[in-house]
């Protein structure tokens, strides 16, 4: 038995366990900053978890040790709240604050910052060593259309490096400099935009402060909302409705679709549409495209609705680009239709329309800025807000989601969705939606079992064979979520050792339910994915129409405007290309 004493309590430690992990498992709090248990990251750099440690028969003064990297040993006597431990912890936080931007009141992490939390915990009330010139001379990289990297707020915890390197295998970030000049930068001294970063935003989810964030565009949305000449058209993504309520105190995974619609109306949105509708449109095009490619013997086809995956393919596997589906993402398809079909139906001047997306995604911001997604100066989507910015926007207008009466969509052209569209927000969802429609195209009747169980696991890389029937027969599919598993798959395709017809890739582990634009949890990474995912499956089950091709508004769109998938107009509006 490995017994030790922590603050007078006898605790049993597991083999290889650190003092911090042991104390935490027993419900004892030790302040820590750089460490993040959910990603198994404890570099021991911030020293905020200093505790006093004496061994069994030690007569000398106890040692100060960082609890996150010190193994728990039998007979240890650990004191985490002694005067000496408290003073040591406070000094560490004071030294971190000395090297940190002091404009907390204007920081987006104000009130949701792990550095503020530890500063409060250790009772830091003065800041003796702040060196403004040194701190404010640090890099603020605004080169990306999606992200801002503000080194005046970095505490060098290296969580971003860990998630980028071990989690996503992108490995764009490195430690630069040393001593007081230690910082985090892009490899080879490149800017964010020039680097191999794919803007998946996973680093934003683990950053404890405001050092990493999206480019805030809430002011531009307010400008649109208050401009009487502009018709604001909002869309929100499949995953937003199951991840947004948490910010306002709803239980994790609550479906707040009706509250979001009500909030958008209260903000003054002119038209509220659903990205789910466009997901159904994407399935119409992508299923037809896939069947056509299979008929031509072209395989595999990769999905292309995740912009960080496209960035990854462009920057890391450009030879695979011809395999990507040409169908644009639902966000972009919605924008394209909202600036053509919708104004024609509703009698609005298309030049007055601005499309604003609310996405659980950072990469959607640079997707919308792609030059091939629009015509001339007119982009299909004008602004993208992450889920975090949307919460900020509501707070800037004094709106509390809980006090709103849930509403429903009322647009007769572009807001109805099927269960297939709803499940896009989780790994395997696009695949399952496509299978439902391919089966119908090939066989003329619906799949017996709408829910395709073999597609629904949660492992990073999953494979399955699905009977589609007709001349196509069995379709071999693979689904990867997270760029580590995606890389593994890409390597196998490159080496010619993989045999698949259709491959779904979502860059964020879990898919969009855990997208990089979602709300940040302190000291936690990906704890809510499964609850959010379950709600998406429940929405599918509760939706009367469960196949994209049976969505009546999608049927009307094809009947009245697009004619059929891959028509000349569908091709112009809904398909694109990628380049290395
Ligand atoms: Fe997703 Fe999407 S499912 S990428 O994860 O395909 O962001 O939720 O909106 O476009 O629909 C994100 C989520 C979307 C798109 C859809 C796809
Ligand atoms: Fe964005 Fe979803 Fe892709 Fe993540 S998985 S980068 S949230 S589209």
* Per-residue model confidence as pLDDT tens digits over 256-295: 999 999 999 999 999 999 999 999 999 999 999 999 999 9
CB 228 within 8 A of CB 350: no
What are the distances in angstroms from CA 475 to CA 84, 155, 294, 513? 65, 49, 9, 26
- Assess whether pLDDT exceeds 90 at residue 15: yes
Question: What is the CA(245)–ligand 2 centre distance, in A?
Answer: 19
Instruction: For a ligand 1 pocket test, name from 274, 359, 510 the mutation site with the most ligand atoms within 8 angstroms of its C-beta.
Output: 359
Query: Left (φ > 0), alpha (ψ -120 to 50) or beta: where does 521 sit?
Result: beta
Quick one: pLDDT band at residue 580, thresholds 50, 70, 90? Answer: low
Specify the ligand 2 atom closest to the Cα of 305: 8
Tallying the residues shown for the chain, one arrives at 580
Of 290, 285, 288, residue with least CA distance to 328:
285
Ligand of minimum distance to the alpha carbon of 240: 1
Residue 114 has what pLDDT? Answer: 98
Residues with CB under 6 A from ligand 1: 237-239, 275, 279, 305-306, 329-331, 359-361, 364, 424-425, 430, 511-512, 515
Distance, CA of 426 to CA of 359 (rounded, Å): 14
Residue 377 has what pLDDT? Answer: 77
Quick one: pLDDT band at residue 42, thresholds 50, 70, 90? Answer: very high
Question: What is the CA(200)–ligand 2 centre distance, in A?
Answer: 6
Quick one: pLDDT band at residue 60, thresholds 50, 70, 90? Answer: confident
**pLDDT tens digit string along 486-515?**
999 999 999 999 999 999 999 999 999 999
- Assess whether pLDDT exceeds 90 at residue 352: yes
- Assess whether pLDDT exceeds 90 at residue 372: no
Residue-wise DSSP of 505-560: EESSTTSGGG-TTSPP-TT-SSSSHHHHHHHHHHHHHH-S--SGGG-HHHHHHIII
Specify the ligand 1 atom closest to the Cα of 305: 6
Ligand of minimum distance to the alpha carbon of 198: 2
Specify the ligand 1 atom closest to the Cα of 517: 7
Ligand of minimum distance to the alpha carbon of 511: 2
Specify the ligand 2 atom closest to the Cα of 362: 1
CB 329 within 8 A of CB 306: yes
Question: What is the CA(516)–ligand 1 centre distance, in A?
Answer: 12
Question: What is the CA(516)–ligand 2 centre distance, in A?
Answer: 7
Residue 191 has what pLDDT? Answer: 97
Quick one: pLDDT band at residue 371, thresholds 50, 70, 90? Answer: confident
Residue 306 CB less than 6 A away from ligand 2 = yes
Of 89, 91, 64, residue with least CA distance to 78:
64
User: What's the start-to-end Cα distance of the chain, in Å?
Assistant: 58
Quote the tokens at residue 236.
């929100």
Residue nearest to atom 4 of ligand 1 (CA): 306
Question: What is the CA(15)–ligand 1 centre distance, in A?
Answer: 43
Distance, CA of 26 to CA of 11 (rounded, Å): 7
- Mean pLDDT score of the chain: 96
- Assess whether pLDDT exceeds 90 at residue 232: yes
Residue nearest to atom 7 of ligand 2 (CA): 515
DSSP letter assigned to residue 573? H
- Assess whether pLDDT exceeds 90 at residue 23: yes
> Whole-model pTM?
0.96
Of 338, 526, 502, residue with least CA distance to 426:
526
Average pLDDT over residues 390-417: 97
Residue nearest to atom 2 of ligand 2 (CA): 512
3-class secondary-structure state, position 427 = coil
Distance, CA of 214 to CA of 385 (rounded, Å): 9
Instruction: For a ligand 2 pocket test, name from 305, 360, 512 the mutation site with the most ligand atoms within 8 angstroms of its C-beta.
Output: 512
Specify the ligand 2 atom closest to the Cα of 514: 7
Quick one: pLDDT band at residue 55, thresholds 50, 70, 90? Answer: confident
Residue 482 CB less than 6 A away from ligand 2 = no
Question: What is the CA(139)–ligand 2 centre distance, in A?
Answer: 27
- Assess whether pLDDT exceeds 80 at residue 368: yes
Question: What is the CA(202)–ligand 2 centre distance, in A?
Answer: 10
Instruction: For a ligand 2 pocket test, name from 235, 515, 517 the mutation site with the most ligand atoms within 8 angstroms of its C-beta.
Output: 515
If 0-12 CB within 10 Å is exposed, 13-18 middle and 19+ buried, where does residue 161 land? buried
Ligand of minimum distance to the alpha carbon of 533: 1
Quote the tokens at residue 260.
């979001």
Residue nearest to atom 1 of ligand 2 (CA): 361
Question: What is the CA(247)–ligand 2 centre distance, in A?
Answer: 20
**pLDDT tens digit string along 514-544?**
999 999 999 999 999 999 999 999 999 999 9
């Amino acid at each position: 038995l490995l017994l030790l004493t922590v603050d007078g309590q006898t605790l049993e430690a597991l083999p290889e366990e650190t003092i911090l992990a042991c104390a935490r498992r027993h419900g004892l709090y030790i302040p820590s900053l750089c460490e993040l248990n959910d990603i198994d990251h404890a570099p021991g750099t911030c020293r905020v978890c200093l505790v006093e440690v004496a061994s069994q028969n030690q007569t000398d003064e106890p040692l100060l040790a960082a609890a996150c990297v010190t193994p728990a040993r039998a007979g240890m006597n650990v004191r985490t709240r002694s005067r000496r431990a408290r003073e040591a912890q406070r000094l560490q936080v004071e030294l971190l604050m000395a090297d940190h931007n002091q404009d907390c009141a204007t920081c987006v992490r104000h009130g949701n910052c792990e550095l503020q939390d530890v500063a409060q915990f250790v009772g830091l009330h003065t800041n003796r060593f702040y060196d403004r010139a040194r701190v404010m001379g640090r890099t603020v990289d605004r080169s990306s259309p999606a992200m801002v990297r503000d080194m005046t707020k970095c505490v060098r915890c290296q969580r971003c490096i860990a998630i980028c390197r071990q989690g996503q295998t992108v490995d764009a970030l490195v430690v630069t400099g040393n001593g007081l000049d230690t910082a985090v930068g892009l490899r080879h001294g490149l800017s964010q935009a020039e680097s191999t970063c794919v803007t998946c935003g996973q680093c934003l989810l683990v950053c404890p402060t405001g050092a990493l964030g999206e480019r805030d565009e809430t002011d531009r949305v307010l400008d649109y909302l208050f401009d009487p000449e502009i018709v604001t058209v909002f869309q929100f993504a499949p995953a937003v409705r199951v991840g947004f309520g948490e910010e306002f105190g709803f239980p994790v995974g609550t479906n707040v679709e009706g509250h979001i619609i009500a909030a958008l109306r209260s903000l003054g949105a002119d038209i509220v549409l659903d990205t789910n509708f466009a997901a159904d449109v994407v399935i119409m095009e992508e299923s037809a495209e896939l069947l056509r490619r299979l008929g031509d013997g072209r395989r595999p086809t990769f999905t292309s609705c995740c912009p960080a995956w496209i960035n990854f393919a462009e920057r890391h596997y450009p030879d695979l680009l011809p395999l990507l589906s040409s169908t644009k993402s639902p966000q972009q398809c919605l924008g394209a239709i909202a600036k053509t079909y919708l104004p024609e139906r509703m009698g609005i001047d298309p030049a007055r329309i601005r499309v604003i997306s609310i996405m659980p995604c950072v990469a959607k911001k640079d997707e919308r800025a792609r030059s091939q997604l629009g015509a001339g100066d007119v982009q299909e989507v004008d602004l993208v807000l992450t889920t975090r910015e949307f919460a900020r926007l509501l707070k800037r207008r004094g709106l509390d989601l809980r006090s709103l009466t849930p509403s429903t969509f009322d647009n007769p052209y572009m807001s109805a969705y099927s269960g297939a569209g709803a499940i896009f927000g989780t790994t395997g969802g696009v695949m399952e939606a496509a299978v439902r429609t391919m089966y119908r195209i090939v066989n003329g009747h619906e799949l017996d079992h709408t829910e395709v169980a073999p597609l629904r696991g949660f492992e990073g890389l999953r494979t399955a064979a699905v009977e589609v029937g007709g001349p196509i027969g069995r379709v071999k599919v693979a689904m990867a979520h997270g760029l580590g598993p995606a890389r593994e798959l890409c390597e196998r395709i490159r080496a010619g050792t993989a045999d698949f017809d259709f491959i779904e890739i979502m860059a964020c582990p879990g898919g969009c339910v855990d997208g990089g634009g979602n709300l940040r949890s302190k000291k936690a990474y990906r704890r809510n994915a499964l609850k959010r995912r379950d709600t998406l499956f429940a929405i599918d089950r509760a939706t009367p129409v469960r196949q994209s091709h049976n969505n009546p508004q999608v049927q009307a769109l094809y009947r009245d405007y697009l004619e059929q998938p891959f028509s000349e107009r569908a091709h112009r509006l809904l398909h694109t290309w990628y380049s290395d």
